[in-house]
């Protein structure tokens, strides 16, 4: 049985971030063979966009230092996209040598997090991204832009809505096709989500270009997702088993679990094309690899 609600989209695209946002924050370094199987199982479960890894400096994120090995081993599947994070031109060169079709640059809505995550000021992050986005677009690569700390920052506290809109607009103006609004530390609440999305709308950004990226630190990720759907968002980031966080953001815990998201969407009668049971089995297997149980409520309930 499904129980639809009025005013929601009929289909939602899930942008799976487990292999990147999830594994970048594990203290254990997962062998590349396990990552490869993880990505392939996510695809077999029906996910069509799986953010695979990051071409960042390996000293900054040692968990993803095997990006080359993973991308070399990963079989390409028709209709499946494997975006990778790229901060700068060095990262773009590494990504392009594997023929990637999708990259994501990741900017900060706050000054402090720009310094901590990118070793740059807020303004100079755009100077770093500009040639990356221009070269990628010229090479036919689709570029996503992330804005982090859109709802709050552990060092700066609350983040003003108009500041987030300015940062997001600058990422879109560089040539990003899509902008993912990150609640990096999970402090957002549903009214805040709707206020931010409305502010982007008022600034002339179509909701079709926006995605949401919630972390579940305060248990608000699903409520925030529903609020975003009510605002017309149709791309939702999630992480299998609720893996994840950010190594450069204190108090960033797991992402919204993909299974928890699926339970809600399927109950609402919204199509995703993803097989929940196959995904739960994947997260149970991954939890075994990591030596600890999944934090996802749905994984716990179904396993
Ligand atoms: P930097 O030290 O300022 O780099 O780091 P640099 O440009 O000064 O270069 C220093 C050296 O690093 C040079 O080598 C470069 O070649 C090398 P040398 O000439 O000295 O031998 N280098 C690289 N090597 C490999 N790959 C590269 C690369 N770039 C430079 N791409 C940098 C600047 C941006 C590289 C660094 O700060 C970095 O890698 N940061 C990434 C941090 C990160 O990945 N954080 C997590 C992702 S963001 C996130 O999780 C939030 C999100 O999930 C959304 C949300 O939740 O809100 C997306
Ligand atoms: Mg994140």
Strand blocks (E) in the chain: 13-16, 49-50, 53-54, 84-85, 102-108, 142-148, 152-153, 157-158, 178-183, 210-214, 235-238
pTM for the whole structure: 0.97
pLDDT at residue 196 greater than cutoff 60: yes
Answer yes or no: is pLDDT of 213 > 60: yes
Query: Does the residue 174 lie in any domain?
Result: yes
5 occurs within a structural domain: no
66 pLDDT higher than 80? yes
The closest residue, in CA terms, to atom 36 on ligand 1 is 118
- Residue whose CB lies within 8 A of the most ligand 1 atoms, among 15, 21, 57, 235, for a mutation test: 57
Residue 106: in which H helix or E strand, if any? strand 102-108
- Lookup: tokens for 118: 């990118």
184 domain-assigned = yes
pLDDT at residue number 252: 60
**Which residue has tokens 């695979």?**
52
Which structural domain, as residue segments, surrounds residue 42?
Answer: 13-302
Identify whether 8 is part of a domain.
Answer: no
Ligand 1 atom index nearest CA of 87: 34
Q: Could you tell me if residue 1 is inside a domain? A: no
Backbone angles phi, psi at 123, to 5 degrees: -65, -40
pLDDT in tens, 27-60: 888 999 999 999 999 999 999 999 999 999 999 9
Q: Is 2 within a domain?
A: no
Q: Is the CB of 108 under 6 A from ligand 1?
A: no
Domain at 105, CATH number: 3.20.20.70
Task: Give the residue, 13 or 25, on which the prediction is more confident.
Answer: 13
pLDDT of 253 reads 73
Residue 207: count of CB within 10 angstroms of its CB: 17
End-to-end CA distance of the chain: 21
143-161 pLDDT, tens digit each: 999 999 999 999 999 999 9
- pLDDT tens per residue, range 227-275: 999 999 999 999 999 998 656 666 567 899 999 999 999 999 999 999 9
Residue 7 lies in a domain: no
* Residue 103, in any domain of the structure: yes
Mean pLDDT for 160-167 is 98
Tell me which H or E stretch contains 13: strand 13-16
Specify the number of domains making up the chain: 1
State residue 292's pLDDT score: 87
Whether the per-residue pLDDT at 163 is higher than 60: the answer is: yes
Could you tell me whether strands 13-16 and 210-214 are parallel, antiparallel, or unpaired per DSSP bridges?
Answer: unpaired
Across residues 2-13, what is the average pLDDT? Answer: 97
């Amino acid at each position: 049985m499904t129980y639809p609600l009025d005013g929601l989209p009929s289909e939602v695209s899930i942008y799976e971030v487990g292999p990147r946002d999830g594994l970048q924050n594990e203290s254990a370094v997962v062998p590349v063979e396990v990552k490869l199987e993880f990505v392939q199982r996510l695809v077999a479960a029906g996910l069509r966009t799986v953010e695979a890894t990051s071409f960042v400096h390996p000293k900054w994120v040692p968990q993803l230092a095997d990006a080359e090995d993973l991308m070399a081993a990963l079989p390409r599947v028709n209709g499946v996209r494997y975006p990778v994070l790229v901060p700068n031109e060095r990262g773009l060169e590494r990504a392009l040598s594997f023929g990637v079709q999708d990259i994501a640059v990741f900017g900060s809505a706050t000054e402090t997090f720009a310094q901590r995550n990118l070793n740059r000021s807020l303004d100079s992050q755009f100077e770093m991204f500009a040639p990356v986005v221009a070269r990628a677009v010229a090479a036919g690569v689709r570029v996503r832009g992330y804005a982090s700390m859109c709802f709050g920052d552990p060092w700066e506290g609350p983040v003003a809505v108009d500041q987030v809109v300015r940062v997001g607009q600058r990422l879109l103006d560089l040539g990003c096709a899509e902008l993912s609004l990150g609640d990096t530390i999970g402090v957002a609440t549903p009214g805040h989500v709707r206020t931010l999305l409305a502010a982007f709308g008022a600034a002339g950004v179509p909701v079709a270009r926006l995605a949401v990226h919630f972390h579940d630190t305060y248990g608000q990720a699903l409520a925030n997702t529903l609020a975003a759907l009510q605002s017309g968002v149709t791309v939702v980031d999630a992480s299998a088993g609720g893996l994840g966080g950010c190594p450069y953001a204190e108090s960033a815990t797991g992402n919204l679990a993909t299974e928890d998201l699926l339970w809600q969407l399927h109950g609402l009668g919204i199509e995703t094309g993803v097989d929940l049971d196959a995904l739960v089995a994947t997260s149970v297997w991954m939890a075994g690899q990591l030596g600890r149980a999944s934090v996802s409520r749905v994984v716990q309930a179904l396993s």
